[in-house]
Structure 1
Amino acid sequence: MAQVRIWVHSVWGTKSRIPYMQNKSRRISLFKHIKSYAKDKDIYLDFINGTSDHVHCLISMACDQNIAQIMKLLKGESSCYAGKQKLFTPDFDWADDYYAVSVSQSQVETVRNYLKKQEEHHRKKTFEEECKLFMEKYGFIRMLG
């Protein structure tokens, strides 16, 4: 059997960056559902957190998985679940895009700690600012330009 450990930090936002998930208990309910659904689909979602307008996940991919499949499953199903459960406004949806970068094994705990502090972090920096820094730090802007 193949032994693979590929860590990925993924981030995606709500459609038009609307802060649909302001209700913290409902947001936590959605995150718990995403984690449970991931487990059902054999996706190892190590940690999930976010704020009213976006989600961060730390995922370890198996050898037969790719990030596009994982994002399609997690985003698609969770959007349907949120709608059926009426967790947020009727027009709740995720944005089409997402960001994902690899994480070395030595940095997994650092990423977990960063994800744990999302609310505190976003008191100082908006999701838009975070995205811009994320894209600069990981070279996405150079790739697009």
Structure 2
Amino acid sequence: MANTFSQIYIQYVFAVKYRQNLLQKAWRDEVFKYMSGIINEKGQKPIIVNGVEDHVHVFVGLKPTMCIADLIRDVKNNSSKFINEQGFVKDKFYWQEGYGAFSYSHSAIENVYNYILNQEEHHRKQTFRKEYLDLLNKFEIDYDERYLFDLLE
């Protein structure tokens, strides 16, 4: 639409089904690049995609014509298909149902980027459960423990 301008930055966080440690370092970057490609194909701006063995952070610049839920649905569906077609895992690969989506201002881009970039180092000190609950609490998101990811430690 003419004369429509926006700056919308969303960080998605989602996990491997049952929080299994299936995203192996040997091929993880290939999957993250594939996810970035999906985001590009949808006309959105991938800022960074990174994660560890059991979960992923995707930070995007989103245009208002793209629904938050539609983008992450496509990223998850297409990337799980890619992982399965490449034979990266022995059994069938699935992402866990659901995700977190957190919005940021333009001034926060560098901090969020660096946070996502350093996920391996970050998770030497903090569990995914604590990280995820901290995000929910920081953004004052009401949640029901029954509907969180399977956060088995």
Structure 1 length as normaliser, TM-score? 0.93
Task: Give the number of aligned pairs.
Answer: 143
Match of 1:8 in 2: 10
Match of 1:65 in 2: 66
Distance in 2 of aligned mates of 1:133 and 1:102: 15
Match of 1:53 in 2: 54
Q: What residue identity is the alignment partner of 1:65?
A: M
Distance in 2 of aligned mates of 1:133 and 1:70: 24
Superposition misfits of 4+ residues, deviation over 6 angstroms = none
Match of 1:84 in 2: 85
Distance in 2 of aligned mates of 1:143 and 1:14: 20
Q: Report the 3-state secondary structure (helix = DSSP H, G, I; strand = E; otherwise coil) of the residue aligned with 1:93.
A: coil
CA contact (8 A) 1:46 1:60 kept: yes
Q: What residue identity is the alignment partner of 1:42?
A: G
Q: What residue identity is the alignment partner of 2:110?
A: E
Percent sequence identity over matched residues? Answer: 30
More divergent stretch after superposition (66-75 vs 89-98): 89-98
- 1:91 Cα offset (Å): 2.4
Match of 2:123 in 1: 122
Match of 2:21 in 1: 19
Match of 2:106 in 1: 105
Deviations 1:41-91 (A, max 9, x none): 212111110000000011111121111011111011101111001122322
- 1:143 Cα offset (Å): 5.2
CA contact (8 A) 1:20 1:89 kept: no
Distance in 2 of aligned mates of 1:100 and 1:53: 17
Unaligned runs of 5+ in 2: 146-153
Q: What residue identity is the alignment partner of 2:50?
A: N
Computed over aligned residues only, the root mean square deviation of the Cα atoms, in angstroms, reads 1.4
Distance in 2 of aligned mates of 1:37 and 1:8: 16
1:28-47 to 2 correspondence within 5 Å? 28-47=29-48
Q: Report the 3-state secondary structure (helix = DSSP H, G, I; strand = E; otherwise coil) of the residue aligned with 1:123.
A: helix
Q: What residue identity is the alignment partner of 2:137?
A: E
- 1:19 Cα offset (Å): 0.8
Q: What residue identity is the alignment partner of 1:12?
A: F
Q: Report the 3-state secondary structure (helix = DSSP H, G, I; strand = E; otherwise coil) of the residue aligned with 2:18.
A: helix
